[in-house]
Amino acid sequence: MKDVQGKVGVVTGASSGIGRAIAIRLGIAGCKVAPIARGKAGLNEVVKTIRKEGGTAEGFPCDLNDNAKLKETLKAIESKFGTIDILVNNVGVGTFKPIDRTSYEEVLAPIQLPFGAALVASHTVIPGMLNQGSGHIVNLISPAGILPLPNMVPYTATRFAITGLSHALHEELSRKGIGVTLVCPCQVNTGYLKNNDADMGWYPKLSQVLPVLEPEVVGEKVLEAIVKNKKDMFFPPILNASIRFYQKFPEFSFWFLRFLGILQPTNK
- Active site amino acids: 155
For residue 265, give the DSSP letter.
B
Rounded to the nearest 10°, the torsion over CA 53, 54, 57, 59 is 40
Tell me if 35 sits within 8 A of 46, measured CB to CB.
yes
Residue 17 and residue 193: Cα distance in Å, rounded? 11
Neighbour tally for 48: CB within 10 Å: 12
At residue 133, φ and ψ (nearest 5 deg) are 75, 25
Collapsing DSSP states into helix, strand and coil, what is residue 119?
helix
**In angstroms, rounded to a whole number, what is the distance separating the alpha carbons of residues 202 and 181?**
29
Tell me how far apart the alpha carbons of residues 54 and 48 are, in angstroms, rounded to a whole number: 10
